Amino acid sequence: MSISLLRTIRSTVVICSFPKIMASRQSSDMPKFREALRSAKEIVVLSGAGISAESGIPTFRGAGGLWRTYEAASLATPGAFRSNPSLVWEFYHYRREVAAKAQPNAGHLAIAEYEARHGADKKITVITQNVDGLHARAGTNDLIELHGNLFKTRCTKCKEVLANNDSPICEALAGRGAPDLNVRGSDIPISSLPHCQKAECGGLLRPHIVWFGENLNPAVLEKAKTAMSTCDVCLVVGTSSVVYPAAMFAPEAAARGAIVAEFNLEPTPATSEFHFYFQGPCGTTLPQALAE
């Protein structure tokens, strides 16, 4: 099911899907949450843009979510890539360069360190909506990237997916992509954009990102659903809880009896569904929650 289609059924999901947990069940009792964490056998961390924003990664959501004069979401579509691949590549080149310079913050590190300490006695899975690679760079091993990765490419012809950390990814993009309001369009020839290096292919490469209107990878989605369906505790970290299908994961886990704790700067539409809510920067609250 495509992201766009899932959005169209959002109202149905909210109205019909699961019984609402009373807001009175929410708590900011950190010792009580840590007690639940200690007894858990399967733990899922579901992360969103908020945790990476603390590392300086633009969220491109809400007010100010522009690149140059474009709404970022308008460039993250198959149609935008078909009509102007050079412009889309400039946008993603900019995002790659920003992400490459960013460093995992205390929230990313707390998650990775917790996995390193308890990976032998607990099943710990990190499901992220982020594409910046910061969880992996922090040291997380059991990682599910729902929406792809900025540092992977996919050939539009042979479909091969490869890791690529080159900076720039091709010479034509060197020094390009800055969010300059005076720059319109892109004059980079398509022949100078990244292409598949296999002699028998040579197809145009695209970022390995799930764009609006595209399906999530079925295997990746199934793996995420399986982890969510069996976890005892779920940490919802820095996500707006409005992008589907990930927005359904934690409320459904809470409805079946898993303990769910939200870590965020502000309450979200799903906050009242959860047992715990810890307000503040993830880089502050997560180290406290995951400490020994």
Mean pLDDT calculated for residue range 194-207: 97
Instruction: Report the predicted TM-score, pTM, of the whole model to 2 decimal places.
Output: 0.89
Determine whether the annotation assigns residue 121 to a binding site.
no
Q: How far apart are CA 41 and CA 123, in angstroms?
A: 6
- 131-173 pLDDT, tens per residue? 999 999 999 999 999 999 999 999 999 999 999 999 999 999 9
Count of residues making up the chain: 292
**pLDDT tens, 68-95?**
999 999 999 999 999 999 999 999 999 9
pLDDT at 292: 82
Looking only at the bridges linking them, the beta strands covering 70-71 and 66-67 are antiparallel
On whether 34 is known to bind a ligand per the annotation, the reply is no
Q: Per the annotation, does 186 bind a ligand?
A: no
Give the tokens for residue 276.
């715990």
For residue 108, give the nearest of 263, 274, 267 by alpha carbon: 263
> Residue 76, annotated ligand binder?
no
Query: Is 170 marked within a binding site?
Result: no
What mean pLDDT comes out for the span 106-130? 98
User: What's the pLDDT at 9?
Assistant: 29
pLDDT of residue 4: 35
How would residue 62 be classed by pLDDT, with cut points 50, 70 and 90? low
- Do the annotations mark residue 158 as ligand-binding? yes
Residue 260 annotated as part of some ligand binding site: no
What domains appear along the chain, each with residue ranges and CATH number? 1-55+104-147+216-292 (3.40.50.1220), 58-101+149-209 (3.30.1600.10)
Give the list of residues 6+ apart from residue 180 with CB closer than 8 angstroms, or none. Answer: 68
Predicted pLDDT of residue 242: 79
Q: Which of 93, 147, 195, 208 is catalytic?
A: 147
Catalytic residue flag (residue 93): no
Residues 6+ apart with CB under 8 A from 285: 107, 263, 278, 279
Q: Angle at which helices 282-290 and 30-39 pack, to 10 degrees?
A: 50
Q: Please state the φ and ψ torsions of residue 244, each to the nearest 5 degrees.
A: -95, 150
